[in-house]
Amino acid sequence: MVDVSFGEGEGELLTLTYPKPLPMRLDRWLVAQRPEQSRARIQKFIEAGYVRVNGVTGRAKTPLRQGDSVALWMPPPEPLPYLVPQAMPLDVLYEDAHLIVLNKPAGLTVHPAPGNRDGTLVNGLLHHCPDLPGIGGELRPGIVHRLDKDTTGCIVVAKSQEALVKLQVQIQKRIASRQYLAVVHGVPTADSGTVVAPIGRHPADRKKYAVVHDDSGRHACTHWRLVERLGDYSLLRFKLDTGRTHQIRVHCAHLGHPIVGDPVYSRCRKLPLDMPGQALHAVQLGLNHPIHGERIVCEAPMPELFERLLEVLRRR
């Protein structure tokens, strides 16, 4: 956090009075008062000395008592000098002052990473919405959830800290619904099913993920339904309960039906069509608006290459 003296320069100074008869930890109460800020961010403010109780610098565990005066100084978000706004075409499915839902094309990385500092979706968003820097901090301003580089379709980005925190909670609590389409190798024996299998780093290849049965795996649940049989291939629709890295790709490979074109989890190199990456598309995203609560459901049309793949397989 930038070294800013308490109450000096740009920023917002809030003075609150603790009203309750029973004591409560300072950090817990402040999170309840400022729902647009995450608990981690409130704790960073406290650690930086930006919170005072009755004029004395507070600590996260400081117990508040009825009538205590709490002053919270919120300096402006840190600038992110390494994030360069770049003009790029964005396929906007929904946008208002609080959030934007995009149809991401294949080949576009969501956020900068070491060795990949520009040309990402975040760079395009910074050009489209100049207010994004500082939301959520770090290298992923406003990013609520990710899509792999070659996965296409719906992705939501928050335009304010409050929208970001509330949308992340919706993803965690499964209030937001995410549905995907994929073309896979082979035909499942059932018409639908659920994969509950923990995902962790691959024991031999750290760049990959795998279903693991030791303590390193995180709970992962994927519901799938057979949409269409396509000879030696199938079109499946998925609904995610969790959002682990590469979840659908790992679970499909675990089922013995890897996604067509997947360069990491499918060993088949002879494809019905030249594919730059996996045939996986985030077709639908449903969420409650983070500010006024109404349900928003966005559908992303299938990319041209996905449609062509289906045409080729239907003609066989």
Active site residue 148: yes
CA 123/CA 115 separation, integer angstroms: 15
Neighbouring C-beta atoms of residue 297, cutoff 10 Å: 13
CA dist 141 to 81, 125, 134, 233, 250, Å? 13, 9, 6, 38, 27
Strand ranges (DSSP E) for the chain? 12-17, 24-25, 51-53, 56-57, 63-64, 69-74, 92-95, 99-104, 152-158, 177-185, 192-196, 199-201, 209-211, 221-230, 233-240, 280-288, 295-299
Question: Do the strands 152-158 and 280-288 form a parallel or antiparallel pair, or are they unpaired?
Answer: parallel
DSSP 8-state secondary structure symbol assigned to residue 291: T
Task: Indicate which residue of 148, 214, 215, 274 is catalytic.
Answer: 148
CA dist 59 to 1, 24, 53, 84, Å? 16, 12, 9, 36
Contact 122, 110 (CB under 8 A): yes
Tell me the Ramachandran region of residue 300: left when phi exceeds 0, alpha when psi lies from -120 to 50, beta otherwise: beta
Report the catalytic residues. Answer: 148
